[in-house]
Structures are given as C-alpha cells and as structure tokens.
Chains A and B, each alone.
Chain A
C-alpha cells in the first residue's frame, strides 16, 4: 500500500477573507481522493499585491514568512493561479539573497495550482458537477501565460459529469482585474470586464468558471451588478458535486 499523499492548502488572502467556501470545497475534493489535508496556521498572503505594485522589500518579508510556513509541506495547493505563479515564479528570485534561497526553490517546486495538482499529480479527472448545465471557462492570465496551463482545468470540465463545457470566445483575454489596476484605472478595468462579460453571456452558459480569486471577484462583481443570470464560480466549487 502506498502512503497517502499529504497536501498543505495555501488558502490565500482573498480565499480566506472573501471565498471561504472555495477552501472548503478544495478540502472535500482532496479528502475524497484520499489525500490528507492540512492548513498551516497563521497564513496571510503570498505577497503578490506588494510585489506587483513594486514594493519588493515588503513583498520579500511576506514571502519569507509564507515560505517558512510551508517548509515541511509535501505538496502545496493554491486555489489561485496568480498566487501559485508568485510562489513558483517569483519566490526564488525574491528570496535569493535572504538565506532562504534553498527553501524558496523547494517550496516553489512543490507548489501547484489546484487544477494542475488534480490532473497532473493525482491524475484525477472525474468529478460530478455542482452546477448542472452549460459551463464556460475563463483562462486567468497568470495561470495561462505565467504557468502555461490551459489544459488541466478544461480536462476537468470536459469530464465533469452533469455539465457541458462550452467555449468562451476570447477566453484567454484578461478580465481587467490586474490587482491594484482595477482601482487605479477603474474605468479601463471595467471596459475590459464588460467585453469579457458580453462574451460570457453570448455562450448561453449558466456558470462561468475560473481558477483565480482575483478574476472571480472582478467577474462576479460585474455579473451581479448587471443582474446577469450567469454565476461566476471557482473551479473547486463546480467540481464539488459529490462523489462520482
């Protein structure tokens, strides 16, 4: 018998504060796959908002702390492509001269965005949909162009029992969130969002799926504002329809 896999959930600041249900969906999904899940206590944030705005000394302090929290983790699973990208792509450089270079490299190598972990590590592709009917998928920028992942989420959604995946025109185009960009240039951010949502509504899907809490905040915020019948959900919530 092989040892059960162990996953530490990096819930992220947005996941913790605004989307706690997403975190619990992930825990359920992983447990159903016989994975032991822990949540290292006293997590805050990966530091991406500081990093992207150019506050690198500050981001370094946050990154150092977060890397330490996951020092003993076998696998680190993250619900957002952007935070996973931060850990995998930026931690090693950011912490290169801090005495934590080796740790940063190890944590980076063990960190996965959720869909990647499910498909590429666990080989788990069969789930039951929590939202029957048509769903469509938005590629979040950091997952797509940062981590070069467009396949895993689609594999999961294509195989999802009870749901039908339809193509989103311009799926790979930004939703306009961009962290602080969304409030620094709110009009431009909203115009980009409006284009995205028009495409979403044209698909006829009842549910818009994304793998990033930032995009979800932006797109859900736009959908509910325009009283759209389309719901924006995190991939984990959609996969969480019970045992297949």
Chain B
C-alpha cells in the first residue's frame, strides 16, 4: 500500500474509518514514508489528534467526553473552542474539507464486497466515505478477506442487519458502492482504484475452531452489552479489536498465545452471543481458546496443577469428602459469624471485596446420610 501511495506521488492521504488499516498499522507506515494520513471520520479524527487508538470498533472515540474533545481542538487550532458537539463537528468539517481537496490518495476500509458485481461497499453516517472515494486521484480499499458476500440480494440483507445492530438505524445515512475507477465519460471518481484483501490468519480459520468469527460484521453490538467491556473499555484489551469478539479476532490474527490471559477476560455470561445479529457463539469459542491455552501448556503451571488436582478430587468421592473436612479445619481461623471476610495471600482475591461462605458444618450429603440412617 505504501508502494501505491509512493507511485502516486502522494503527500497526504485522507482516510475513512477502517479497523482493517488499524490492524496493519497503516498510518504509522505512511508516516514513515513522509505521507500524512488524515482520518476523516469524526471519531477517528479526534483520536488521531489525541494520538490514540480506537476504543470501540464503530465508535472509536467513545471514551472521550465533549470537554476532552474541545481541549484537543483548542490545542490543535490554538484558540479556545467551546465544548458543544455541534460546534465541534462544524470545526472538524471545515478543517477536513481542506484536506479532502488537498489529498492525493483516499484510503477506505470496506464493510462488504459483492462477488457477482465486483462492488466494494462502504457505509457511513457522516458522508466522509463518499468524499474519500471520489475526490482524490487514487482510491485504495482495504478489507478482511472474509467480507465478501455472493450477490447484491445478500448485500441488502446484510446492510439492514449491520445498521440495525450497530446504531439502531434502518440503513446507515450513506451507503457508497464503488465499482472501480472513473470510466470514460464519468465526471467524478478516482483515476486509479486498488483493492487490498487481508488474510492475516483468516483463511486458515475457514475450517478452524474460530471460523464462526469470520462472519462478524463489526457491528459492535457484542461490545455494547458486554459487562467486562463496559467496565474496562476498549483500550484495556491491548489489541486492535476490543471486546469479546476482539479476543477471538486477536487469537485469529496473532495466534492463541497472544490471548492466553484475555481468553479469561469474560464471565461467559453470553450477552454477546445473544446480541450478535449473525449468532456467533462467542462464549463457546472463548472456552475453546481456553482449552487451547491449557493444551499448549502456556497457562501458568500453578493453574494447571490446581485444575488437574481439582479434577482428581471430583472423580474420587472419598477425596472430595476429605477435602471438605480439611477445608473446615483450615477455615477455622477465618470463619467468623458464619462468613469468611478475609483470607491470607493470593486467596484474598475473593475476600478483598466480598464475603465468602464457609464450608458448611455438615454438608448436604453428610446430613442426608445421617437422616437416612436415623429414619431409613
């Protein structure tokens, strides 16, 4: 892609929102070549000014308040700017209008590509995608290889699903269909068009355990309902794609080893799978990743030993009963008033913030057996 830009003699590239270009660190690569990338999606523009990465796959700057955005803009324009969303948008619009006209190359992602007509499809709510694909001399679209749908009829279905799950709209405000460069007699459009398909481990998953994740539309619904994402935010995941689906995509793109901890960053509550419009069973695949992490022996040894021991106890009822008795003895110094409020060392992970019930004086099965004996 840098080659294409270089050949076009580009100094500036305007971009519409694209997670695929985030995935390959395109902005950094362009900058190294002296080409200035300019993000034109409002959210992306904000985080580019802040030198950050998107924290959400469709709302990249969702972690910023309007006050923070106003501060950023003030710094950039070297004049005070009011924290009013409409005013902020007007400013960004004016700034970006200049860039659209100056840029030599336009870079976009793609929400879909249609196989039977050779069409690349882009949806936006701001219309910036349309400017990026029509004003500069060269247009490069980058997309994951999995985003191809067979026909226009299929596209109609997916466009409606995407808009509904992403933002609750019937359709996004702008749906841009691109079928290559400007043709003879056409008044607008680029002189050159390039389509870049990313593999990065995707194709290998066609028959793999994570294949369902290839159906992801990047609508973001699973992030919005995820209790973990809602607490920690997108950046805490530490990779391009955040949230529950992001864990699967990271494993796909960077290998299972890269998610050995993240695979456990889920309570497996299933809200993601419930919200997903294409019914991707994310919890099932998170468990699968945990299995791979365990099988590859990249889980911490203490964890592996603990679970193997637990398994031994659970298939031997005599050991299980013994463990209950041992637990009762060991908990004695800590169980007060029928509850455990603190435990030493790493055992404190639970009790730091929550009380723990002690092992009952007599377990259900002990009491049951005693009652049977008394009154058979």
A contacts, CB < 8 Å to B: 11, 13, 15-20, 23-24, 39, 41-45, 47, 49-56, 58-59, 61-62, 65, 141-142, 145-146, 172-174, 176-193, 217-218, 220-222, 224-225
Contact = CB atoms under 8 A, between A and B. Distances in A.
9 contacts: A49-B310, A61-B311, A61-B315, A141-B268, A141-B269, A172-B271, A178-B266, A190-B354, A220-B357
B353 A11 contact: no
A65 B228 CA distance: 34
Contact of A145 (B271, B287, B324): B271
A14 B352 CA distance: 21
B307 A53 contact: yes
A52 B231 contact: no
A42 B366 CA distance: 10
A184 B354 CA distance: 14
Nearest to B368: A39
A185 B262 CA distance: 10
Interface string B287-326: 1111111110001000100011011011101001000100
Interface residues of B, number: 57
Interface string B341-353: 1000000011011
B349 A183 contact: yes
B365 A43 contact: yes
A227 B364 CA distance: 27
A168 B290 CA distance: 33
B231 A17 contact: no
A174 B106 CA distance: 43
B355 A62 contact: no
B281 to A, nearest CB: 11
Contacts of B232: 188
Give me the 7 closest cross-chain CB pairs, A-B, nearest first: A178-B267, A54-B290, A221-B354, A58-B311, A174-B269, A42-B317, A54-B291
Nearest to A172: B271
Contact of A11 (B314, B315, B364): B364
Contacts of A184: 264
Contacts of B264: 53, 180-181, 184-185
A24 B349 CA distance: 31
A181 B315 contact: no
Interface in B128-179: none
A230 to B, nearest CB: 14
Residue among B232, B263, B357 having the largest count of chain A Cβ atoms under 10 Å? B357
A28 to B, nearest CB: 12
B227 interface: yes
Given A181-B266, A222-B353, A16 B364 contact: yes
Contacts of B320: 44
Nearest to B288: A54
Contact of A188 (B231, B274, B369): B231
A163 B365 CA distance: 31
Contacts of A56: 291
B138 to A, nearest CB: 45
A49 B268 CA distance: 12
B359 interface: yes
A39 B365 contact: yes
Contact of A50 (B267, B299, B310): B310
Contacts of B341: 225
Interface string B236-280: 000000000000000000000000000111111111011000000
A79 B314 CA distance: 19
